[in-house]
Amino acid sequence: MYQIPAWRYWLVGIVLAAGLLLALPNIFGEEPAIQVSRQDRGAMGSEGEQRILGVLQANQIPYNTSYFEDDRLVVRFTSVDDQIRARDAISDAAPGEYIVALTSASRSPRWLRVIGLKPMALGLDLRGGVHFMYEVDMAAAIEQTLQRLAQDVRTQLRKERIQYQAVTVRGESVEVLLRPGASVDAARRVIQGDDPTIILTESQIDGATQLVATLSPERIKQRQDLAIEQNVTTLRNRIDELGVSEPIVARQGLDRIVVQLPGVQDPNQAIRVLGATATVEFRLVDEANNPYEAQQTKRVPVGSKLYMTREGAPVLLKREIIASGDQLTDAISGWSEGRPAVHVTLDSRAGQAMLKTTTENLGRRMAVVYKETKRLEEGERCNGIRSGNQCTVEEVISVATIQGVFSNRFQITGLMASEANELALLLRAGSLATPIFLVEQRTVGPTLGQDNIKAGMMALAIGAVLTFAFLAVYYRTFGMVANVVLICNVILLVALMSLLQAALTLPGIAGIVLTIGMAADANILIYERMREELRNGNSPHAAIQAGFDKAFSAIADANITTLIAGIALFAFGTGPIKGFAVTLVLGIFTSLFTAIMCSRVFIDAIWGRRRHLKTLPV
């Protein structure tokens, strides 16, 4: 008689108990809820909770329970109608103070939440929401780098007193035309410095030396990767401002970003906010020249630039930018003297520049320039500056006289209420490093998500029942043990996905069905080995031991090859393919554990300890 070591019993018992605990939140289901967070990103305290609940009680909106999750307050409701009424009531009672996100919350009891256990996250195809695919303008990222390089070169050449005729950006390079007699070596040091990623070439044009600076392929790739990373961060910040819970923002391929917003059914606001490249610039007004004369003659004074106000009037502004949108640290929409306004706070560097400007220019005028870049559709006209299929609109939204000295805190007026809200959101979240363009959009309704869940669970149930029936009929009592092992496998898989918060998608349900089949296959290999040993005349105890030992190599080989395929799918796949790969890879680990460890323990506990065992019901 052969008995397995006691530590295997302990290991299986501990793992199954932990799996049951981790999977437990999934049996309670979900109900409509809202997540309330403070606009200033501070933590919600008990005072904030009492205020929110007071608003709900004042509006006679019933709720089930409320609790804190990280720095947010979660309030659960019985119906979607109560959920939406609660969102509107809170937004009306405290406009601009809280971010209210519609979501779904688990009905799991408080003690599960206290120890941090959560149910599986549901993917977009099961929960409903919107899916966006954005393309990042990589050419604009390189052009921005070259423009900054050209600006730095001009500044350093003037600082080092090196005479030059022109510094221009042409194509993918910066051309520096020196004056005759200028030191070429000194200009080289200024342009290239210690940066090995700048490649310089030299040529002669009409007796003058021209230096052409180009970026190395490594520098270009580094700048493109940085543009993607900055845009991903900005999009995440903007989604946080929108109040969407559990979003997914991820890079896909070389120049694309995937955004998934669960629970969002109206994509219009999300499209406006996510893809907007709006920002502002603060400039002094050129009061020494006539803007109408510059408009008529098409001759703009040196150091100035001609803009138009929203009313269509020309205005000359200084080219020097005092501060820009990317230097803002906070922006809150509100009202000033009965007009919509954006109250902004600048960082220290921009605050010092604003303080210096207002101190030296009391009584003069300063303007706020609103800039927005968008991609033009075929045949669409551009009302601003056109570059390829892009259109940049620049307009002066506010011109005001500097009546006092201020630094990093002031307000922007001249906007409509909706524009003030969106501009404040965009300025808080930061500007995009380069423009992005929407290339794909899909909306999954909550009804379709529920239909997907029902269809997936039906497929899972039918597959499991047929598999259980086959094992019970063909392998008799051992088949029933295999069925218990398969149930343990599903529990452990759900537990792992809950622990890792891996999103369950419709292809993921297909992966669970496949996992059941693979786990059943492993048990079949073991049982067939046992039957072969019994036919060869070995004792039942010897057949059990030989069945597990001889089947192990075949089970391991089959699962390892499948694991390699699953890892490849996860690494190179996107969207639904990744969802399938996640459940497939996790299912392989749970299948190996349950088929080799759990089956061994269960069979040993039932038949392995019988001294006078003459046959096996296999």
Give the homologous superfamily in CATH for domain 6-24+446-608: Multidrug efflux transporter AcrB transmembrane domain (1.20.1640.10)
Q: Which of 591, 390, 391 has the alpha carbon at shortest distance from 487? A: 591
Encode pLDDT of 483-523 as tens digits.
899 899 989 999 998 888 877 777 888 888 888 888 888 88
pLDDT at 256: 87
What is the mean pLDDT of the segment spanning 135-143?
A: 82
Helix then strand then coil, in percent of the chain rounded to 5, is 50, 25, 25
What is the mean pLDDT of the segment spanning 325-353?
A: 75
Domain ranges for the chain:
6-24+446-608, 30-107, 139-220, 278-416
- Binned at pLDDT 50, 70 and 90, residue 21 comes out as very high
Is 70 exceeded by the pLDDT of residue 575?
A: no
Encode pLDDT of 100-115 as tens digits.
877 777 888 888 888 8
Q: Which CATH class is domain 139-220?
A: alpha beta
∠ CA 180-186-192, nearest 5°, is 115
Q: Containing H/E element for 164?
A: strand 164-170
Domains 30-107 and 139-220 share a fold: yes
Burial (CB count <10 Å: 0-12, 13-18, 19+), residue 447: exposed
Q: Which amino acid is at 610?
A: R
Q: Which two tokens stand for residue 396?
A: 């002066």
C-alpha distances in Å from residue 350, one per residue of 232, 329, 409, 427, 429? 25, 10, 10, 14, 18
Give the separation between CA 202 and CA 345, rounded to whole angstroms.
46
- Binned at pLDDT 50, 70 and 90, residue 376 comes out as low
Contact criterion met (CB below 8 Å) for 459 and 512: no
Q: Where are the beta strands (DSSP E) in 348-463?
A: 365-375, 385-387, 390-401, 409-413, 436-444
What is the mean pLDDT of the segment spanning 420-430?
A: 64
- For domain 30-107, give the CATH number: 3.30.70.260
pLDDT at 492: 92
Q: Containing H/E element for 200?
A: strand 198-205
**String of DSSP letters for 113-136:** HHTT--PPEE-HHHH-EEEEEEEE
List, in sequence order, every residue forming a beta bridge with 67; answer none if it has no partner. Answer: 74
Encode pLDDT of 78-100 as tens digits.
887 888 888 888 888 877 677 78
Please state the three-class secondary structure of 217-256 as a single string: HHHHHHHHHHHHHHHHHHHHHHHHHHCCCCCEEEEECCCE
Neighbour tally for 201: CB within 10 Å: 10
Give the separation between CA 362 and CA 439, rounded to whole angstroms.
48
What is the mean pLDDT of the segment spanning 12-18?
A: 91
Q: Which CATH class is domain 278-416?
A: alpha beta
∠ CA 154-156-158, nearest 5°, is 70
Is 90 exceeded by the pLDDT of residue 17?
A: yes
Is 60 exceeded by the pLDDT of residue 306?
A: yes
Rg of the Cα atoms in the chain: 33
